[in-house]
Amino acid sequence: MEKQRVLFLCTHNSARSQMAEGLLREVAGERFESHSAGTEKTHVRPLAIEAMREVGVDLSGQESKTLDRYIREPFDYVVTVCDSANEACPFFPNARERLHWSFPDPSKAEGSEKEKLAFYGEVRDAIRRRIESELVNVGSARS
């Protein structure tokens, strides 16, 4: 069976979209090919890497990418994970379905490093729940 292709988009491709890419690969990598990109290229945030390490997912090899490289590629799902990317997201002519999941920006967390990391963990867990309920479980019902 051919893997379904998913592209997660966020403004900076530094936390939410990176975590979503890693989580989908971990949860259902045998069924999904997972990618992420941003409207701007920056870097993967260290706290995103650390929050994912807590659940056994390694993001240290992932890099921030712009969506230009993916615009002409076919995807089963293009998922925006932040409101500004949803507003700025171009039309993807080869996307079968476009979804928008609004998550708070963990890079805006305040407090100690421990408090910031806890917020990254909350966003990570919320992303995982959406992936499981709206992609993984839906996809298995369709197969």
35 occurs within a structural domain: yes
| Residue-level pLDDT at 72 | 87
Confidence category of residue 90, pLDDT binned at 50, 70, 90:
low
Within its chain, how far is the Cα of 77 from the centroid? 12
- Strand extents, DSSP E, the chain: 4-10, 32-38, 75-80, 95-100
44 occurs within a structural domain: yes
In angstroms, the CA 101 to CA 8 distance is: 10
143 occurs within a structural domain: no
Among 20, 24, 48, 89, which one carries the catalytic annotation?
89
105-131 per-position pLDDT tens digit: 999 999 999 999 999 999 999 999 999
62 occurs within a structural domain: yes
103 occurs within a structural domain: yes
How large is the C-alpha radius of gyration of the chain? 14
31 occurs within a structural domain: yes
In angstroms, the CA 20 to CA 11 distance is: 14
CATH code of the domain covering residue 131: 3.40.50.2300
For the question of residue 10 being annotated catalytic, the response is yes
Among 19, 24, 67, 82, which one carries the catalytic annotation?
82
**Residue 10 lies in domain:** 4-138
For the question of residue 111 being annotated catalytic, the response is no
Among 9, 10, 51, 81, which one carries the catalytic annotation?
10
| Number of domains the chain contains | 1
